[in-house]
Amino acid sequence: MPNAATNAAYVLDMPAERTSCVVFASPHSGRAYPASLLKRSVLNRKMIRSSEDAYVDQLFDSAPESGAPFLAAAMPRAYLDLNRSADELDPALIQGARRHGHNPRVASGLGVIPRVVANGRAIYSGKLTMDEARLRIDTYWRPYHQKLKSLLSESHEMFGQAILIDCHSMPHEAVAMAGGSGSTRPEIVLGDRFGAAASGLIVDQIESAFTDAGLNVARNAPFAGAYVAQTYGRPTRQQHAIQIEIDRSIYMDEDTIQPNGNFQSFREVLRQVSGKIASIGSEPLSLAAE
């Protein structure tokens, strides 16, 4: 049975035996909304969840069965965005934050402490103090990324390489805007920052795992990967990071933020897909060197 470790920043499910160099992670599926956030926000509980990758942690929770760790955020994206750099502070929200050139993510309100949720809806009516921003980062951002770095280092030591699967979901609207007919619109988007974050051979294998399951796959459009892929993807050092975006309409009702009738069957599809992905480069270093 997998072993679960929980703290304020994340939930980590470890396999009974680590047989894969792959690490699965979900930075945006946290849903432990602090009472202080809900009290200060001008949004209701449903609206504030609109930027959450709802249920992605449940969709991939079988990863430890295939010998791979699974790290999931505990705190919601509306409170703290783990797919941003700790210094991406928004001057329009954080008192005393300095501008560091033009950062389109921060400018749009999607810094490490988000100012808005989906469709640009403001979370707060006023500003937050720098002390509060730093407390969130120190309490939640740093422990999550420290654990993620540790897991990847362990994979590298054990198998000679590490593969990070950064799990996300995307609004169906984003897929529709990407163009194509209904039959060719991507249901899965793999982001490797146009080859900068992962080996093409590994991304090919991940794509095949999804296409073999009957899913339409695209690469890098409309999402190529953000901070996590940029930071942890070092293919020349045998460390690869691939962002996976799943069309939310496949498994949930986006209006009610509830699983739809396809949820369990799709979860089973991803169990098979995750197993195939976890098998990539799964030989221990001592065997691979022989």
Identity of the amino acid at 5:
A
Tens digit of each residue's pLDDT (9 = 90 or more) over 12-50: 999 999 999 999 999 999 999 999 999 999 999 899 999
Tens digit of each residue's pLDDT (9 = 90 or more) over 106-163: 988 899 999 999 888 999 999 999 999 999 999 999 999 999 999 999 999 999 999 9
* DSSP reduced 3-state for 145: helix
| pLDDT of 2 above 50 | no
Torsion sign, CA atoms 127, 129, 134, 135? negative
Taking residue 202's Cβ as centre, other Cβ atoms within 10 Å add up to 19
In sequence order, the 6+-apart residues with CB closer than 8 A to the CB of 174 are 222, 223
Rg (CA), the chain: 19
Tens digit of each residue's pLDDT (9 = 90 or more) over 155-187: 999 999 999 999 999 998 887 766 555 557 899
Phi first, then psi: give them for residue 218, nearest 5 degrees: -125, 165
Task: Say what the pLDDT of residue 233 is.
Answer: 97
Task: Say what the pLDDT of residue 284 is.
Answer: 60
Of the CA atoms within 13 Å of residue 98, those in its CB half-sphere come to: 3
Task: Say what the pLDDT of residue 173 is.
Answer: 85
Task: Say what the pLDDT of residue 5 is.
Answer: 62
Torsion sign, CA atoms 195, 199, 200, 204? negative
The percentage of residues in the chain with a pLDDT greater than 90, rounded to a whole number, is: 81
Interval 67-76 mean pLDDT: 97
Alpha-carbon distance of 145 to 139, in angstroms, equals: 11
Task: Say what the pLDDT of residue 98 is.
Answer: 87
Beta strands in the chain (DSSP E): 3-6, 10-14, 22-26, 70-73, 162-170, 188-191, 217-219, 239-247, 252-253, 258-259
| pLDDT of 82 above 60 | yes
- Give strand pairing partners of 122: 116
Confidence band of 288 (pLDDT split at 50, 70, 90)? very low
Interval 260-276 mean pLDDT: 97
| pLDDT of 287 above 60 | no
Interval 93-102 mean pLDDT: 85
Inter-residue contact 244 to 188 (CB < 8 Å): yes
Alpha-carbon distance of 37 to 75, in angstroms, equals: 11
Task: Say what the pLDDT of residue 3 is.
Answer: 61
| pLDDT of 244 above 70 | yes
Phi first, then psi: give them for residue 266, nearest 5 degrees: -70, -35
Interval 189-199 mean pLDDT: 96
